[in-house]
Amino acid sequence: MRAELDQTPRSLLVSERSSFRDQKTRIRAQVEQLHFNYKVSVLLPECCSAPPHLDSIFNTFNSFYLIRNLPVYELLDKNFLETAVYQGSVYGVSYRTRIDEDNCVALTPKGHLTLSLDKDSFEILGVEGKPSRFNHRTKCRFVVSVDLTDSSMAPGGRGYQRLLTGLRSRLQLKTDFLLSHYPGGGASLQALLSRYDWSEHRPQISRHTLTDLSCPALLTSDLQSCDPHSFMEWVGAVDANVSCENSSSSFLSSLVCPEPRTTVSRALSVSVCGLLLPHDVHRLIQEIRCYLEQPHLESWVCLTVHGYADSPVSWGDNEHSVLKGGENFYSLLMFQDDTYHLHLATGAHDTCPP
């Protein structure tokens, strides 16, 4: 076995401390930079059931659509461009495709269409692209990125026709596709949906209560003594319901809670899964801030957002790595005094998070 296979893949972790009251806070922009979110987890200490106002946010995340076997050239349909792409934020990503070996597609809210293609598909398509940043010694993967809102890509134009012909007549790429639109919702997508096999989905919500949970001593926003990597390992272990006690009778995990630590008698973990929009994540953050204003509650809440591991783009419109792990997530630790700690993570070969 090669030595590097024994090593845990490196990752990139960017951490910052700030306050929601700071006029220069970038939290909204940073939340919007991760377009394709598949899971949001919230950890509420000293809580056994979410209050109604928080439950309301969990239950009102936008629905999304799964279109089966969608020809990708339909994303260039004139009516779809005019009623959806030009009018608001469209979020679309190919479903159950693997970024390291399949052809993957993403449509970002700013109207950027990204195709991550293997070499044969790229050559068949016959449009301009560039080699993937994550090729090994040979150029075996290519990226085509097109701004559908640019005047050069207006329906009937030369660039538009070339891409349309390549997708419809030469490559004929089809994929299962997750799609959502804000603020238009399903009404703006009906013309496209009506031509294919599709289903509407609500995000799935799960809750579980934890008892006697060991956690870092986060009684204040002063976390100087807590290593960010250790903290993120603890957050992941709690989310996966893996014990951090590291007892001699357990062979499941060697993870331990960072020191100094304390024990909370109970905690509630709530997860929402689906194609989750940054707009809904931001609404949840604002509601958690209101929740923390109640003086009798524990002084912190932790929110973690995971991006799709096989999305062609990660932070912003930057190419997502096809090497080793597919990490792209962030964890936001919020306190009663309106300060927060933000940890943004991605694979070691990806572009640094914003």
| Model confidence band, residue 6 (pLDDT cutoffs 50, 70, 90) | very low
Which of 168, 201, 234 is the endpoint of a domain?
Answer: 201
CA distance 252 to 239: 15
Q: Read off the tokens for 328.
A: 């792209």
The whole-number pLDDT of residue 5 equals 45
pLDDT at 2 over 60: no
Hey, which residues does 216 pair with through a beta bridge? 261
Which of 136, 166, 201 is the endpoint of a domain?
Answer: 201
Q: What is the mean pLDDT of residues 17-28?
A: 91
Quote the number of domains for the chain: 2
Q: Is the pTM of this model over 0.75?
A: yes
- Of residues 55 and 7, the one with the higher pLDDT is 55
Q: Are residues 81 and 197 in the same domain?
A: yes
Q: Are residues 16 and 123 in the same domain?
A: no
End-to-end CA distance of the chain: give it in Å, rounded.
37
DSSP 3-state of 281: helix
Residues 210/267, Cβ–Cβ less than 8 Å = yes
Q: Are residues 171 and 302 in the same domain?
A: no
pLDDT tens digit string along 124-176? 999 999 998 876 666 788 999 999 999 989 999 999 999 999 999 999 999 99
Q: Are residues 22 and 99 in the same domain?
A: no
- Of residues 10 and 230, the one with the higher pLDDT is 230
pLDDT tens digit string along 70-101? 999 999 999 999 999 998 789 999 999 998 88
- Of residues 247 and 119, the one with the higher pLDDT is 119
Range of the domain at 256: 12-61+203-346
Q: Please list, in sequence order, all residues whose beta carbon lies within 8 angstroms of the beta carbon of residue 189, skipping any fewer than 6 positions away.
A: 65, 80, 84, 179, 181
Average pLDDT value for the chain? 87
pLDDT tens digit string along 260-317? 778 888 999 999 999 999 999 999 999 999 999 887 667 899 999 999 989 999 888 8
Q: 49 in a domain, yes or no? A: yes
| Model confidence band, residue 325 (pLDDT cutoffs 50, 70, 90) | low
Q: Which of 148-162, 230-244, 324-338 has the highest mean predicted lDDT (pLDDT)?
A: 148-162
pLDDT tens digit string along 34-49? 999 999 999 999 888 8
CA distance 155 to 145: 17
Q: Are residues 46 and 72 in the same domain?
A: no
Q: Are residues 209 and 194 in the same domain?
A: no
- What CA dihedral angle connects 335, 337, 338 and 343, to 10 degrees? -40
The whole-number pLDDT of residue 1 equals 42
Q: Are residues 234 and 341 in the same domain?
A: yes
pLDDT tens digit string along 184-222? 777 889 999 999 999 999 999 999 999 888 888 765 545
Q: Are residues 192 and 207 in the same domain?
A: no
